[in-house]
Structure 1
Amino acid sequence: MTTTPSNGTSPARTYIITGAGSGIGAATADLLRGRGETVIGVDLKGAEVEADLSTSEGRAAAAAKAVELANGRVDAVIACAGISAPIPLTVKVNYFGVTEFLEHLAPTLAKSESPRAVVVSSMASLQPNSSELVDALLAGDEAAAVAVGTALAEKGPEAGYLNYPSSKRALSRWVRRESITPRWAGAGIPLNAVAPGTVISPMTTQLLATEEGRQMVDSHVPMPLNYHSEAVVISRLLAWLTSEENTHTTGQTIYTDGGADASLRGDNIWD
């Protein structure tokens, strides 16, 4: 961690970043530390807080430890932790590992002069999903969500994959719903999501290594602007959304996807 002010005068902001051990989370931690901010990383291993966000106990313990390391002062939370496996563990990490973790930190965040929170959703939030699973997630019923996710996984990898887009669809909807509530807007906390397209990361390296894999990915996520992105591209937007400059952007899922959303949904998404 570093506490050197980024501009020599303003005090460093304190960020908690989940998934800080790799991919977008690691890139974001590096970016913010390079700007002189204080970063407390959370991950299964290789971070200041080592925790399992797939369990309720792990989420609570991780939040408590992060607040302790922050000396009770947290200015922003960036939730990057996630997996894409075709199994119910995906919904436990991607949805409850984000929402419950943030809910634990909301009271501490609210004490900041400029609190901010952002989560990483995905372009997959626009893909086919299980409405039954999305409903269970939004109802906050983890047991029911895991049961639905397990049933999908038992049908094979194709059905099991629905765990991923369903978790991201529910996460984006949660952000939109919760952003205007007393807990978030009422406490002056902008709450947003970023939805990347195809990002070059440990999660995608093997898939993008073959022409067949790239063609499959690109058919689902066409990116006419600058093609696949590096993780730092997403990090720059995460950093702005959690900066003091963002005072009014909230409830949004911002598709940082090289034009994939516009390509797939067209020019009128309001009908």
Structure 2
Amino acid sequence: MTRTSVVTGSASGIGKATRELLEGRGERVVGVDLHDADLTLDLATAEGRAAMVEGVRRLTGGTVDAVFAVAGISLPAPATVAVNYFGAVATLEGLRPYLLRSAAPRAVVVSSMAALHPVDDDLVAAIERGDEAAALNRAELLAGEPAGQLIYGSSKKAISRWVRRQAPGAAWAGAGIPLNAIGPGVIATPMTAEMISTEEKRAALLEVVPMPLNGVAAADTVARLLAWLGGAENTHLCGQVIYVDGGSDAVLRGDSVW
């Protein structure tokens, strides 16, 4: 039976690669993005999130087999928190009732290996309280400082923790829905294009994000893992953050995870 998936951030990068991969396999995909998508809206806003839930219901009849919360931005600005965390959670929670109607429901969110880098603890705490206004205010303060670079990693650490905490609970594992995340390293997408535009820039970035296995990855490398996590074959992976990072996690954290 053909599966129906929702992919946010479907117009570029990892989201586009995921959509193209699934459609190439004959699956139905509802794409969500700011442009060039089935549903054109902004997940940084409450209105956009509500429109996404209603739009998916309208286009699918209220049954979805997999949700891929891929949409994300990396600007040193409050919008990064709004999309990367609150938009992702709204996507997963808003579409969960539609997943319950599937025979093999799956949910995956894209985090980042940036979650392993330094973060702003106050921003992470505000995010985890679910206080979007406070989180955006904290991000606004950081945006005007060199610490603005902490906003992206903070949003990704928070969403990784959300997945770990929610996945084993009644709403997800208890309902038969595997919920997991991936943490890409440096991926060749529009988001990273400027950072890897020259050999010098690429080398400098890989000093911070070491990728000893094959270096910078293509978006379809990540899409293939996402497709498996969102597929019927994945029956028991629960609450995992899988790093597709060419070895960054192993280099940076070593044995500390044990």
**What TM-score comes out, normalization by structure 1 length?**
0.93
Structure 1 distance, partners of 2:161, 2:44, is 20
- Asked if the contact 1:119/1:194 (under 8 Å) is kept, the reply is yes
The answer to whether residue 211 in structure 2 is matched with residue 192 in structure 1 is no
Provide the residue aligned with 1:216 in structure 2: 204
SS in structure 1 opposite 2:196?
Answer: helix
1:35 is matched with which residue: 25, 29, 33? 25
SS in structure 2 opposite 1:162?
Answer: helix
Provide the residue aligned with 1:97 in structure 2: 87
1:13 is matched with which residue: 3, 16, 20? 3
| Aligned residue runs from structure 1 range 91-240, under 5 A | 91-155=81-145, 158-240=146-228
Structure 2 distance, partners of 1:166, 1:65, is 30
Q: Which runs of 5+ in 1 are unaligned?
A: 1-10
Q: CA RMSD, aligned part only?
A: 0.9
Provide the residue aligned with 1:5 in structure 2: none
Moved over 6 A (4+): none
The number of residues matched between the two structures is: 258
SS in structure 1 opposite 2:227?
Answer: helix
- Asked if the contact 1:117/1:191 (under 8 Å) is kept, the reply is yes
Structure 1 distance, partners of 2:199, 2:227, is 33
1:110 shift after superposition:
1.1
The answer to whether residue 108 in structure 2 is matched with residue 88 in structure 1 is no
1:137-160 Cα deviation digits (max 9, x unpaired) = 1111100100110111122xx211
SS in structure 2 opposite 1:30?
Answer: helix
Identity between Structure 1 and Structure 2 (%) = 55
1:70-122 Cα deviation digits (max 9, x unpaired) = 12210000011000001111000100010012111111111111100000000
Structure 1 distance, partners of 2:178, 2:60, is 20
Provide the residue aligned with 2:61 in structure 1: 71
Structure 2 distance, partners of 1:56, 1:175, is 21
- Asked if the contact 1:60/1:101 (under 8 Å) is kept, the reply is no
Structure 2 distance, partners of 1:226, 1:214, is 13
The answer to whether residue 253 in structure 2 is matched with residue 262 in structure 1 is no
**What TM-score comes out, normalization by structure 2 length?**
0.98
Structure 2 distance, partners of 1:144, 1:67, is 31
